[in-house]
A = this chain, B = another copy of it.
């Protein structure tokens, strides 16, 4: 059975550690990359294994030498997608000098998340795009990784709050959902020909930081 083969391969690779030449199974990576691109462009159900195989230049059946199922591919794509954006954001934040104030750390996180989503990674955008459309088991597996990344944003907002930069009456959860919603929704309208992710991120930060309305005008505050 092809399933057994794939299982054996996976076991060998992870357990064996330095399996022959440390070469990380090129086809495995190629299939994942093709799947990520197609999932991002079309969605999960709209992408067949035959489509993925065609991009890689092999036949659909051969995919089962590397993966046990379509769901396994989706799971790996989604986990990689969260890993990429999570590493990018935490990396960018830790690379910041100590002198950088919390608001600019938020600016940095917004910029990095949006760039990962729109430019850097098909995996990240695929994750966001197919999350709600994938079989329940796959989604459950992806939810774990997601929760970890959510934690990054939670602690960033906590940081901002405890340094007194967030309005005390602001709900942290809804603020986080508003920011991430704004960023993730950009997948629906982003046009690479128009403004760059960096420019867009700058405007979004400004909106969330200072608000869009002029203070002091009649009806501006409650």
Residues in A lying within 8 Å of B, measured CB to CB: 43, 45-46, 100-104, 129, 131-133, 160, 164-167, 170-171, 174-175, 177-178, 180-186, 188-189, 200, 203-204, 206-215, 217-222
**Main DSSP-derived SS at the A contact region:** helix
Question: Are A167 and B45 interface neighbours, CB within 8 A?
Answer: no
Chain B's closest residue to A217 (CB) is B165
With A46-B45, A185-B185, A188-B132 known as contacts, the answer to whether A104 contacts B219 (CB < 8 A) is: yes
Q: A52–B127 Cα gap in the complex (Å)?
A: 28
CB distance from A151 to the nearest CB of B (A): 16
Pick the residue among B100, B175, B222 that contacts A212 (CB under 8 A): B175
Q: Which chain B residues lie closer than 8 Å to A102 at the CB level?
A: 219
Question: Are B212 and A167 interface neighbours, CB within 8 A?
Answer: yes
Q: Which chain B residues lie closer than 8 Å to A178 at the CB level?
A: 182, 204, 207-208
Chain B's closest residue to A43 (CB) is B133
Q: A171–B203 Cα gap in the complex (Å)?
A: 7
Q: Which chain B residues lie closer than 8 Å to A181 at the CB level?
A: 181-186, 188
Question: Are B177 and A213 interface neighbours, CB within 8 A?
Answer: no
Question: Are A132 and B43 interface neighbours, CB within 8 A?
Answer: yes
Question: Are A220 and B103 interface neighbours, CB within 8 A?
Answer: yes
Question: Are B210 and A208 interface neighbours, CB within 8 A?
Answer: no
Q: Which chain B residues lie closer than 8 Å to A100 at the CB level?
A: 219
Q: Which chain B residues lie closer than 8 Å to A185 at the CB level?
A: 177, 180-182, 184-185
Q: Which chain B residues lie closer than 8 Å to A46 at the CB level?
A: 45, 133
Q: Which chain B residues lie closer than 8 Å to A221 at the CB level?
A: 209-210
Q: A211–B209 Cα gap in the complex (Å)?
A: 5
